[in-house]
Structure 1
Amino acid sequence: MSFKTILTVTGPGMSDGDVKLVAGLCEEASAHLAVLVVVLAAPPPVGEYAAVISEDWLKERQAEEKLLKKTTAAMTALLAGRGLSADIDSEYPEAGWADETIGRRALYADITVLGPELLAGATLKNKAIEGVLFSSGKPLLLVPQGSRPTLKPKRVLVAWDSRLEASRAVRESIDMLISADGVHLVLVDPVEGENRHGAEPGAYVAAYLARHGVKVTVDRLPSATHSVADVLRQHAVDIAADLMVMGAYGHSRLRERIFGGVTRSMLEGPSLPTLVAR
C-alpha cells in the first residue's frame, strides 16, 4: 500500500534527529507527517509515605507537563520551516497504558516510523513498538543507527514463515516490493507439507508476488548452529538489502518475552531498516 500519513514518536531529552529523518521520508513519499510527543507520567506515590511525598510528586508532574509543552513547541517550530504537511500531538500517559495511547494514535497513520534515537532507549521504545503492533493493526518501520532508510528500497529481504503475520507484512509493503529492483523471499529451515510451506516451500507466495510484478527470488536457508534471527541478518548483508520485511509475534507476546523468539531478537537489535506487521 502507499503511505500517505506517516507517524513518528519522540519525547523530551531527544534531539530532533528522528523527526528530521522521518520528515525526509515524508518528502520522499509526498506524505503527511504526524508527530506524537510523549512524556511518561511519574507514577503516583503509594504506601505509608504517599501523603508525605505527594507534594513533591505534584511538582514533578508539573515539571513534566511543562517539559512536554516545551518539546511540542520546539517540534512545531522545527517543522514550520520545512513546508511539509504535518501535525503535532502530545500525550502525557502513565507508563501502564502508554502503549495503548500510542497505538490509538497509530490507527490514523499508514505506518509508524521509529528512529534510531528512540530505539536506543528502553521504556518509550518498548511502549511504542507494542502499542503500534498490538493496538493499531498498522505496520511499523524500525530505523537503526547508521542506516539509510527509504520508502523506495532497491533490494528487499522478506522473511517468510507461512504465518498470518508474514502475509500481513507482505501486503503492507507490496508497493515497495513491486518497485524494488529485487526481492529475496527467505525461508529458514522450511518444512514441506500441506500445513506448513507446501510441497515446494516458497512457491505459492513467490507466484503471488510475481503476479503483482515483483522481481522475486526464493532463498531457502539452513540455520545450522545459528539462530533464525542471525541467519536473516547475515543474509541481508550478503544480498546488500536496504530493507527487511517480516511478520511480528507469531507466538503470544508473553511466550516471546519468556522464551525469546525471532521477533524479540529482531526488535531489540535491527541491523537494517525493518518493516514489521502483525
Structure 2
Amino acid sequence: MAYKSLFSVLTDPALIPGLLDQSTTLARKYDAHVEALCLGVDRTQTGYYYAGANALVLQETLTRAHEEADHLEAEASRILGAQDVRWGTDSGVAQLADIGRHVAAHARFSDLVILPQPYGEDRSAELEPVLEAALFEGRVPVLVQPKDNAVLLSPKSVLVAWNESPECLAAVRAALPFLREAEAVRVVVIDPPTHGPNRSDPGGLLSQYLARQGVRVEIDVLSKTLPRVAEVILRHAVDTKSDMVVMGAYGHSRFREAILGGATRDMLEMCPLPVLMAH
C-alpha cells in the first residue's frame, strides 16, 4: 500500500506553506495527487443574532467568508503550481457548526489527510472540528503536523503507542508505508493488562504482524510513572529519538476527552513530533 491521494484543508493563510510543503513532499515520494480544500469559515452561529437583525450584517459575514476562500485558493494554487506534482483545489464556505460535513465529503476519498496541530495560542477554532471530521466522518488516517512545520519524509525511528484498541490497529495499518521504511519501530505498551490472553506477551501479536510486513520491531513495556499517558509517550519518544508517533485516536468519546482529558487530546496539544492518528 502507498499513499496515492493526499488531502488537506486550508482555513488559515499562515498555515498554508507548511501544510502544502508536507503534502507535496509526500506526493513526490509516493507519486501521489494533492488535493486542497480551501474553506472560508462563517463563524456566526445560528441564533446568535436577535430576531430582525439587519440582513446586511449577515450578508457581510458571508461575503467575507467567500473572500477568504478565494484568497486561500489563490495562494494554494500559486504554491502548488510551482511544484512538480499533480494537484487540485476546491473552495467553499461553511459555518463553523457545519464544517465537518464539508470536510468529510472530501476527506473520505483520500488515503491520508494532512492537517495542522489544532490547539495553541495561534490556532483558530475550526481546526479541531476539521480534524475530528476527517477521523470520524471521513474515516481516514490523519497526519498531524507539529507547530514548527517540520516536514516528515522518511522517519528513521517510529514510536507506536499500543493499547490493543481497534483505533490503534487502524493507525498501525495506515502507517505501514512509513513503518516499512523505518530503521526502528518501537511498540510501546504502558501498564499492560494483568489479565487476558496477551498478559504474558504484551504487544507480541502486533510485532508478529508487523514483522510479516517487513517491519523491524522492538517492544518497550513501560510503567505509567507520570500523571498522563501522553507524558509517558512523549518522554519515551524523546529518549529514543523518535521522528514520528503512531497512535489510535479517541478511544474514549470526544465529549469525555474534552471534559476530562485523554491521551488523544493531550498528544494533540503537546506533541512536538508528527503524529499519525486513525479512529
State TM-score, norm by structure 1: 0.92
Is 1:249 matched with 2:250?
yes
Give the letter for the 1:188 counterpart.
I
1:187 deviates by: 0.5
Distance between the aligned counterparts of 1:224 and 1:44, measured in 2? 43
Distance between the aligned counterparts of 1:83 and 1:111, measured in 2? 19
Matches within 5 A, 1:153-192: 153-192=155-194
Unaligned runs of 5+ in 2: none
Report the secondary structure of 1:141's partner residue. strand
Give the direction of change, closer, same or farther, for the CA distance of 1:45–1:266 in structure 2 (3 Å limit).
closer
Is 1:236 matched with 2:237?
yes
1:145 deviates by: 2.3
Counterpart position of 2:116: 115
Residue deviations 1:146-194, cap 9 Å, x none?
A: 3633242111000000111111111111122122101000001111322
Distance between the aligned counterparts of 1:3 and 1:76, measured in 2? 21
- Does the CA-based 8 Å contact 2:39-2:72 persist in structure 1? no
Report the secondary structure of 2:41's partner residue. coil
- Does the CA-based 8 Å contact 1:149-1:242 persist in structure 2? no
- Does the CA-based 8 Å contact 2:225-2:232 persist in structure 1? no
Unaligned runs of 5+ in 1: none
Is 1:220 matched with 2:221?
yes
- Does the CA-based 8 Å contact 1:229-1:262 persist in structure 2? yes
1:48 deviates by: 7.6
- Does the CA-based 8 Å contact 1:14-1:117 persist in structure 2? no
- Does the CA-based 8 Å contact 1:158-1:246 persist in structure 2? yes
Root-mean-square deviation (Å): 2.1
- Does the CA-based 8 Å contact 2:119-2:268 persist in structure 1? no
Give the direction of change, closer, same or farther, for the CA distance of 1:273–1:53 in structure 2 (3 Å limit).
same
Counterpart position of 1:8: 8
Matches within 5 A, 1:49-68: 49-68=50-69
1:45 deviates by: 6.6
Distance between the aligned counterparts of 2:99 and 2:53, measured in 1? 27
Aligned length: 277
Identity of aligned residues (%): 30
- Does the CA-based 8 Å contact 2:118-2:268 persist in structure 1? no
Counterpart position of 1:129: 131
Counterpart position of 1:76: 77
1:46 deviates by: 3.9
Distance between the aligned counterparts of 1:117 and 1:21, measured in 2? 16
1:117 deviates by: 8.7
Report the secondary structure of 2:246's partner residue. strand
- Does the CA-based 8 Å contact 2:45-2:97 persist in structure 1? no
1:15 deviates by: 5.2
